[in-house]
Amino acid sequence: QMVSQGWKYFRGNFYYSSQVTRTWYSAQQFCLSRDSHLTSVTSESEQELLYRTAGGLLYWIGLSKAGSEGYWYWVDDLLFNKVQSVKFWIPGEPNNTGNNEHCADIKMSSLQSRNDASCDKEFLFICKQPYMPSEP
Ligand code: 2F8
Ligand code: CA
């Protein structure tokens, strides 16, 4: 059923790539309305799936900053591993241009694909929903 609505299955999760652009917050609201979140990216294989899906276009992911310290967190509540995540940023990112880049997108077709951008920008986006088999 999910698949017929455009969701793709990969290793325990369903992913949905939007065909319209939204701000980061509005994109997250859309994902919530579909029982999902903007996607987290916690492994190399997942990063590879997503940058291939993105195909060089800009897509919001579920990474944003919180608190006075501005630490990064995944909006689906998976643990953000700062050390493991270093290799997923574009070299030189995150650079917090204009002190106003508090959301993250996938920008490059490469393992090093991540950029921080203003949350008010309108980009395509990718939702992720964990697959939870229900009883027959
Ligand atoms: O050069 C990297 C730099 O490029 C843009 O700013 C000029 C990006 N802005 C947006 O994507 C909105 C910066 O985030 C990026 O660091
Ligand atoms: Ca940036």
Q: 65 CB under 6 A from ligand 1?
A: no
pTM for the complete prediction?
Answer: 0.96
Q: Tell me, what DSSP letter sits at residue 22?
A: B
Q: Which of 103, 126, 125 is nearest to 116 (CA)?
A: 103
The rounded percent of the chain whose pLDDT value lies above 70 is 100
The overall average pLDDT reported for the chain is 97
Predicted confidence (pLDDT) per residue in 25-55, tens digit: 999 999 999 999 999 999 999 999 999 999 9
Q: Which of 126, 129, 128 is nearest to 20 (CA)?
A: 126
pLDDT score, position 1: 87
**If you search the block for the tokens 């050390």, which residue do you land on?**
83
Q: 97 CB under 6 A from ligand 1?
A: yes
Ligand 1 test: best mutation among 59, 65, 115, 118, most atoms within 8 Å of CB?
Answer: 115
ipTM of the complex as predicted: 0.93
State how beta strands 114-117 and 103-106 pair: antiparallel
pLDDT at 68 over 90: no
Question: Rounded mean pLDDT of 1-14?
Answer: 96
The tokens describing 39, both together, are 């996607």
Q: 117 CB under 6 A from ligand 1?
A: yes
